[in-house]
Amino acid sequence: MNSEARPDGPGGRPEAAPDPRRWKALWVTLATGFMSLLDVTIVAVALPSMQRDLGASAAAVQWVVSGYALAFALVLVPAGRLGDAMGRRRIFLCALAGFVICSAAAGAAPTIGWLVAARLAQGACAGCLAPQNSALIQQMFRGAERGRAFGLFGGTVGVSSAVGPVTGGLILALAHGTQGWRWIFYVNVPVGALALLLGLRLLPRVAPGRRERLDLPGVTLLGVGVLALMLPLVFAESGGLSRLWWLFPVGVALLAAFACWEARVAARDGQPLLDPRLLTSTRGYAAGTALGTLYFVGFSGVWLVFALFFQNGLGYEPLRSGLAVTPFAIGSAAGAVVSGRLVERMGRLLTLCGLIGVIAGLGAAAWIMWSAPTGVMTWLAAPALFVGGLGSGCVISPNVTMTLRDVPVRMAGAAGGALQTGQRLGGAIGTAALPGLFYTVLAASGRDYREAVALSVGAALVAILAALAVAVADWRHDHVHGPPDRPDRSDDRSQDRPAPAHRPEREHRAAEGGATRLHGG
């Protein structure tokens, strides 16, 4: 579906009219993103059932969670770049079809090997979907509408992570019997099939562009580097940190080699996988990526700590454990919707205030869990968790908006993939480190679950404080120097078409410090 053109674009070029079905298309992408991100955490509550039913070892069944997260993270940037080069609609629909098929295969798995293989493929499909979501927002929306759309997208990211445990517990409660865990995967099939049909109808088409080569050396260096950093973390529960610690310096070295290679490709006017100018010349991108990575270290790991505390320490069933942290999810959804309307007005200050809310809310909740009587603990902690959720909604959504809003549309997929790779890496660190600290404190304190949860949440707050420091530095930069003029990058709507031979605004953008001379320009 091609948009109509109006002769009022920058430099006299025709400007594409907004797609009249863009909001309906957005809901399709949000539903798909929610489903794929929910699968990161929803499966955790069903692992004991899977282990008993399939006769698997604890190490093997852990790959049902870890393998999905690992495959998800590995393909984000290459998939984003493929979407930039080949069309986001095409990659999105192919990945969604693959996700539905893999979900059905995981639900029908007769052995643990089959299940792990299906989850690895499902994670790869989810990783292909994720960068297309943010890139399609860049493509379909502009101005204040883009902020509202990113607000909904950020809320989806935050809420999907928070409601995973309660959704998994609810499905297990409704699906009785030892085979109930299979419905955690089967539920994706009708939802995904409906999203696929709606996507075929609503997602915008764009004219095909010139053929571009994929930066295979860059893909290899980035993929192996991320793999080296994440493998010790996904094997953390089985001693991976002590056995595979040497992979950390290998991963850092490979990522440094990746950065050097990309700089060399860009200097030769080639087609890098991730253009270095996104970090050096695109306002807010480097700070936003760092902030998101640090925030997800604390944000992702704290949910496993709460689950361990409520289920192992207080004896809650999975559903009740999930319901205990639902106020955070409700607050996160509300904060995301509101922040989408405020981000253009408040900028980085909104993220700063949100981080303060998260720190206050989670800090108060940790103190209540450490000191309050068991019978009223969850009721007393609910308001604090709600405040923390409101703050989180004002962190994730605005940070996505401010990180990606100045990215040229033709690079939106790769840029969104890199941002989410940082979040997934931060999440892997948090989900490995915080439960590990929980068990360490538990052993040292003589099985004091209250002390373990308080100190583990405190460690999560250290990472969030580091994110707050990044936010303060970025806010002060804008406060001292003034926010730069932000031309509407959506004028580059021809990301899949050859650019006009004459681009008189290019020199003007270069003077403003924007990323110029990118692929196809």
Does 363 fall in a domain? yes
Residue 2 is assigned to a structural domain of this protein: no
Distance of CA 284 to CAs 3, 149, 172, Å? Answer: 30, 19, 42
Instruction: Please report, in tens digits, the pLDDT of each residue of the chain (521 residues total).
Output: 444 334 344 344 444 567 778 899 999 999 998 898 888 778 877 777 888 888 887 777 878 887 888 888 888 888 888 888 788 899 999 999 999 999 999 999 999 999 999 999 999 999 899 888 888 888 888 777 877 787 778 778 767 766 777 788 788 878 776 778 899 999 999 999 999 999 999 998 765 555 567 778 888 888 888 888 888 877 766 677 778 889 889 989 998 998 898 888 888 877 787 778 777 777 888 889 999 999 988 887 788 788 889 888 888 887 788 788 889 888 888 887 788 778 778 888 899 999 999 999 999 999 999 999 988 999 999 999 999 999 998 998 888 888 887 787 777 777 888 887 788 778 778 877 888 788 888 888 888 899 999 999 999 999 999 999 999 998 887 766 655 555 444 444 444 433 333 344 444 444 344 443 333 33
Task: Supply the angle between the helices 216-234 and 412-444 in degrees, to the nearest 10.
Answer: 20
**Chain segment 85-140, per-residue pLDDT in tens:** 788 899 999 999 999 999 999 999 999 999 999 999 999 999 899 888 888 888 88
Quick one: tokens of 98? 């693959």
Q: What is the domain range of residue 108?
A: 19-204+273-479
Q: For 325-344, how does the pLDDT look when each residue is reduced to its tens digit (9 = 90+)?
A: 889 888 888 887 788 778 77
Same domain, residue pair 319 and 443: yes
Q: Is residue 59 part of a domain?
A: yes
> Are 267 and 195 in a shared domain?
no
Q: Which amino acid is at 361?
A: G
3-state secondary structure at position 298: helix
Three-state SS for 16? strand
Strand partners, 16: 5
Two tokens, residue 368? 């209540």
Residues in CB range of 387: below 8 A, 6 or more apart: 331, 357, 360, 361, 364
Tell me: do 278 and 265 sit in the same domain. no
Rounded CA Rg of the chain: 22
245 shares a domain with 137: no
> Would you say residue 3 lies in a domain?
no
The three-state secondary structure class of 503 is coil
At position 423, the amino acid (one-letter code) is Q
Residue 502 lies in a domain: no
Domain co-membership, 145 together with 78: yes
Domain CATH code at residue 450? 1.20.1250.20
Is 505 contained in some domain? no
Residues 329 and 416 in one domain: yes
Q: b or e along 208-236 (b: 16 or more beta carbons within 10 Å of the residue's beta carbon)?
A: ebeeeeebeebbebbbbbbbbbbbbbbbb
DSSP 433-463: HHHHHHHHHHHHTTS-HHHHHHHHHHHHHHH
pTM score, whole prediction = 0.76
Tell me how many domains the chain contains: 2
**Residues 319, 495: Cα–Cα separation, whole Å:** 45
In the chain, how many H helices and how many E strands? 20, 2
Asked if residue 327 belongs to a domain, the reply is yes
Pairwise CA distance, residues 174 & 197, whole Å: 28
In a domain, 311, yes or no: yes
Q: Does residue 219 sit in the same domain as residue 98? A: no
**Do 383 and 263 belong to one domain?**
no
CB 148 within 8 A of CB 128: no
Read off the tokens for 274: 């991730």
List 6's β-bridge partners, or say none.
15
Q: Residue 454: which of 371, 379, 390, 373 has the closest Cα?
A: 371
User: Is the same domain home to 347 and 242?
Assistant: no
326 with 451, same domain: the answer is yes
Domain identity same for 86 and 172:
yes
Q: Say if residue 188 is in the same domain as residue 262.
A: no
